[in-house]
Amino acid sequence: MSQTNIQEKIASFTSIEQALDYFEIGYDSKFINEYRIELIKRFNGYLILEKPDDWFSGRRALKNAYCKIQRGRLDKHTRSACRGCTTCQRR
């Protein structure tokens, strides 16, 4: 898939769940309902910073957005591990 095709595909999504499903990223619907706007903004920000040129770079941008929000929810004063994301590569 070319760069313009992946960007058109991402632009065609009407919900963040469609993007998560397309990029095969597992998610918690309760988390999505609570952090939907922040997740969309962060994902779009990553897409602006680096235009995806294939499925993998689009997936990476969405995973990074999801993970950033998950890690931001952790207590800063403890050494707790991120355990909310089923596809996290930082485990």
Q: Give the residue among 87, 90, 89 at the shortest CA–CA distance from 31.
A: 87
Q: How high is the pLDDT of residue 85?
A: 57
- 3, 8, 52, 70 from 83: Cα distances, Å: 33, 32, 27, 8
Q: What is the pTM of this model?
A: 0.83
Consecutive 10-residue runs of the chain (91 residues): their mean pLDDT? 81 95 91 94 94 93 91 77 58 49
The domain segmentation of the chain, as residue ranges, is 4-73
Residue-wise burial string across 80-89, b where 16 or more C-beta atoms lie within 10 A, e elsewhere? eeeeebeebe
pLDDT tens, residue by residue, 77-91: 776 666 655 555 554
